[in-house]
Amino acid sequence: MPPSTPSYNLFDEPWIPVRWNADAHAPLPDAVGLRELLLRSHEITHIAVALPPALSGLYRILYAITARITGLDEQGPGDWAERRYDLVEQRQLDTGTIEDFVQANHRRFDLFDPEHPFLQDPRLARQCDPQNTAGVNKLVTTRPSGNNHAWFRHVSDPNPDLPTTREAVLHLLVWHYYGPSGRCSSRTIGTTKAANALAGPLRSTLSYHPEGDSLFETLLAGLPEPASTVRPKQDLCPWERDEPPDPLEAPPPLGGMCSDLTARSQHALLLVPDATGEHVRDAFITWAYRNKNSRAGDAYLIWQTSKEGNPYPRPADSHRALWRDLDALLLKKPSGTALPQRPKVFSTAHQVSEDLRVRALGFEQDGQAKDTQFVDASTPPVIGLAEDRQPRIAREIGKLRILGETYGARLDRAVKKAWAVYTDAPKSGDCTWSADAAARYWPAAEAEFWHRLENTDFATAAASFRALAEQVYDDVTAKALGTLRGAKACSQARTELYGGPAKAPAKVGGTRRATTPEDT
């Protein structure tokens, strides 16, 4: 970059939108820089970033910074949990340690620094073709680029609207954590020239975060306990490296909490500012490594096991409500054929506060270029119901989830079967009735789940979910009952609500008895 490159320091510039609590003292700006965010985290209720994958990435950056400031980036000295609890009792982060951190790292958080631009690789200016850059429409993940469909607006590649630098930072984070695999700008290093990248570490996943009454609580609750072998000097964030890693070598090993949070990216980017530094006029986007960086062990994902025995994170699904994941966040060993494991951070989050909520952030995507929908959902305060604190209620939550999903699945089979028989379709499948039934059942099932949890009323839950499925089935199929064919189809398929037709007689103590639908 030329020496006259403008500055945009993330400690100082107001780029993070926030919401203040009732006790916050003026001034109360709509957005703050990192320094003010940390200094006043106890006065901030939450970060108001409207881009869920960007907030997911920003949380990880903030966790790493918080770990450094508080010394919670390693287990010792003393007991880690007690040291964190002492910080909770202080009710705010220490001003002196924040200022020390800012002074020591100030230049490294300049987005346009010529030598160390924040989370960027300055080598791209000479390793990529300056006449064939990615452009700002590619950088802004909510804009269409090339021949892709428009999400929110139509744009022009030859004459794009320049994003503000504040906006560009958030999309920089989305690329690092959720960037696609496949074709990218060509990058040449020595004799190696390549133009394809691997998927970002959080691509297509759903990330779960504990949130408190203040950002201060949220940041402390979001810190996973580091392993006893972690040493901060070997556990480096990208901005702490004096020299960028060699892209042709394997990615640097993850040394602990901070590198786990910030150093998993598979993409290299370089933003090109306009003369004022208030807008970004161009961007280089290409591959960071030729070898894959591990995403195993992320502390904010629900890890599952495939039929082949391989671990994988639970994917983001914009049609799946958060209550259906709650038992996998609160139980040590939640039920399910995929053997889900709760995110590591939830093993200790309740030590900060029992009134923490769960925030789910993600991006429903495929592995390459297809982006479907953002995912952003929250629960009421539920962390205090974790199995570590209230084992009985946590297990009942698991049972509620199973009941709700069981009758949802039965309803889906029933309406598909009724539609297939009624329309003489060759096989059951997605149809008008199944979409209608899902739109009716799942919101009502969610309301039923939270009502029973709030009132700790679990005894008659099975009957309630069954009655809900019956009501939805009757409403969806009502118009078909006016014909003999429709009435027969709906009556025949209704048995799926109770587990399907009765099975062949089964031996019981040497005799046989008929198996009823409720036995299945």
What is the length of the chain?
A: 520
- For residue 6, the one-letter residue type is P
Residue-number span of the structural domain to which 501 is assigned:
395-519
Q: Is residue 371 part of a domain?
A: no
- Return d(Cα 204, Cα 365) in angstroms, integer: 5
Query: 485 in a domain, yes or no?
Result: yes
Q: What is the pLDDT of residues 307-332, one digit of tens each?
A: 999 999 999 999 999 999 999 999 99
Q: For residue 59, what are the contacts with CB-CB under 8 A and spacing of at least 6? A: 207, 209, 222, 361
| Both tokens assigned to 171 | 């999309």
Least confident of 7-11, 206-210, 412-416, 503-507: 503-507
Strands (E) in 274-386, as ranges, are 280-287, 303-305, 311-313, 357-365, 371-378
Residue 493 lies in a domain: yes
In whole angstroms, give the CA distance from residue 288 to residue 263.
11
Q: Report the distance separating Cα 193 and Cα 50, nearest Å.
A: 37
Write out pLDDT tens, residues 45-102: 999 999 999 999 999 999 999 999 999 999 999 999 999 999 999 999 999 999 999 9
Establish if 168 belongs to a structural domain: no
Confidence grade of residue 1 (pLDDT, cut at 50, 70, 90): very low
> Cα–Cα distances in Å, from 264 out to 199, 225, 287, 293, 371?
11, 19, 13, 6, 21
Cα–Cα distance measured from residue 84 to residue 80, given in angstroms and rounded to the nearest whole number: 6
pLDDT average, residue stretch 363-383: 91
pLDDT at 515: 45
Count of structural domains within the chain? 1
- pLDDT at residue 504 in the model: 63
Do β-strands 16-20 and 44-47 pair in parallel, antiparallel, or remain unpaired?
antiparallel
404, part of any domain: yes
Whether 437 is in a domain gets the answer yes
- Single-letter residue type at 408: G
d(C-alpha 376, C-alpha 316), whole Å: 10
Looking at residue 132, its amino acid is N
Read off the pLDDT band of 143 (50, 70, 90).
confident
| pLDDT tens column, 457-499 | 999 999 999 999 999 999 999 999 999 999 999 999 999 999 9
Instruction: Write out pLDDT tens, residues 161-212.
Output: 999 999 999 999 999 999 999 999 999 999 999 999 999 999 999 999 999 9
Write down the pLDDT at residue 366: 87
| pLDDT reported for residue 218 | 98
- Look at residue 514 and tell me whether its pLDDT is greater than 80: no
Secondary-structure breakdown of the chain: helix, strand, coil percentages, each rounded to the nearest 5: 40, 15, 45
Alpha helices in 164-275 (DSSP H): 165-178, 215-221, 257-262
Residue 433 covered by a domain = yes
Q: Are 237 and 263 in contact (CB under 8 A)?
A: yes
Angle at 423 between CA 419 and CA 426, to 5 degrees: 90
Residue, of 500 and 73, whose pLDDT is higher: 73
Query: Residue 210 pairs with which residues in a beta bridge?
Result: 358
Distance from C-alpha of 380 to C-alpha of 148, rounded to nearest angstrom: 38
Residue 476 lies in a domain: yes
| Mean pLDDT of the region 335-352 | 93
pLDDT at 32 over 70: yes
